[in-house]
Homo-oligomer: A and B are copies of this chain.
Amino acid sequence: MSPRKFFHPDTAELTLHRVLFALSDPTRLAVVSDLMRDGERASGDLLAESVPRSTMTHHLKILREAGVTRTRPEGMRCLISLRREDVDARFPGLLDAILAHGGAEASAP
């Protein structure tokens, strides 16, 4: 019964092209937009109506392995949060620029 493990890259290992790629998909952009507005959220509540679970798992894995989000197991659920400070430390202003654009594209793909 080992607690579930999730790989998270170190802050120093984030690469710009990987982060940009993680953000280049409409579904993932919508997830990040939600996280920016609402803070930490359960993965099951993210776009739950429009995206199957296995598809959401896939997108969350890409965001997590790019260093954009953090996944924290909490009982049966997974809580997802933005790695705001880490991304800001490595790419200052990047998330602000995306936040500034707001959720204009943050609807379903």
Contact = CB atoms under 8 A, between A and B. Distances in A.
Interface of A: 15-18, 20-21, 23-26, 29, 90-94, 96-98, 100-101, 104-105
Nearest to A88: B97
A96 B98 contact: no
A23 B25 contact: no
A105 B16 contact: yes
B20 A24 contact: yes
A93 B88 CA distance: 13
Contacts of A96: 93, 97
Contact of A24 (B21, B90, B91, B92): B21
A100 B105 contact: no
